[in-house]
Amino acid sequence: MLKGSKIGLRARHDDDIPTLRTELYDDVVGSARAEAGPWRPISPGSKDPRLVVDDTAQGSVAFSVVELDGGSLVGTASLWGIDNHHRSAHIGLGMLPAARGKGYGTDVVATLCHYGFVVRGLQRLQIETLADNHAMLRAAENNGFIREGVLRSSAWVLGEFLDEVLLGLLVQEWKANSQG
């Protein structure tokens, strides 16, 4: 398990799936805002890759997020779009409703940065999030991510186009921030 100060990132367990399905993916508004496509229901027992992890996939690594104090499941995290040639990847996370507002997101981003830069040897990590996702923007910027641009009206979410913010962090910036 990878450990942050408040959370751990571990492999997905079968008993995580019902909680993630009901608390994250069955939430139409939350799921529509977090996914790149329209919301759709997930049947029990589905092999949906958002829930059931393919450990052989080379382009992404999915984690379950647990509290260090007690081990309770609090969300999901991933490095996706891993490009081994350019040594870059994207960060994604989803916190269960009861876990939001407790600083877990900032700790998840920090732990994913450690995984990406130290364990995987990446050069760049990137986050794309809706412009009104203040929690994710705060978590990214608290970890040294720099706003690189706004993708205007690039996300179709529940009947309207929304702006997305693109943030990036280079390994040398991360090293300088983590030493200071």
Instruction: Specify which of 42-51, 63-72, 170-179 reaches the highest per-range mean pLDDT.
Output: 63-72
Q: How far is CA 4 from CA 32, 68, 104, 129, 164, in A?
A: 28, 8, 9, 22, 27
Q: Which band of pLDDT confidence, cut at 50, 70 and 90, is reported for residue 147?
A: very high
Segment 63-92 shows an average pLDDT of: 97
The 10s digit of each residue's pLDDT in 124-140 is 999 999 999 999 999 99
Mean pLDDT of the chain: 94
The 10s digit of each residue's pLDDT in 4-55 is 999 999 999 999 999 999 998 888 998 889 988 888 888 887 887 778 888 8
What predicted TM-score, i.e. pTM, was given to this entire model?
0.94
* CB distance 45 to 31 below 8 Å: no
Cα separation, 168 vs 149, whole angstroms: 10
Q: Is 175 helix (H, G, I), strand (E, B) or coil?
A: helix
Q: Which band of pLDDT confidence, cut at 50, 70 and 90, is reported for residue 92?
A: very high
- The mean-pLDDT minimum among 42-46, 64-68, 93-97, 111-115 falls in 42-46
Kindly write down the DSSP assignment for every residue of 102-139, as one continuous string: SSHHHHHHHHHHHIIIIIS--SEEEEEEETT-HHHHHH
Segment 57-63 shows an average pLDDT of: 92
Instruction: Give pLDDT, residue 180.
Output: 55
Q: Is 159 helix (H, G, I), strand (E, B) or coil?
A: coil
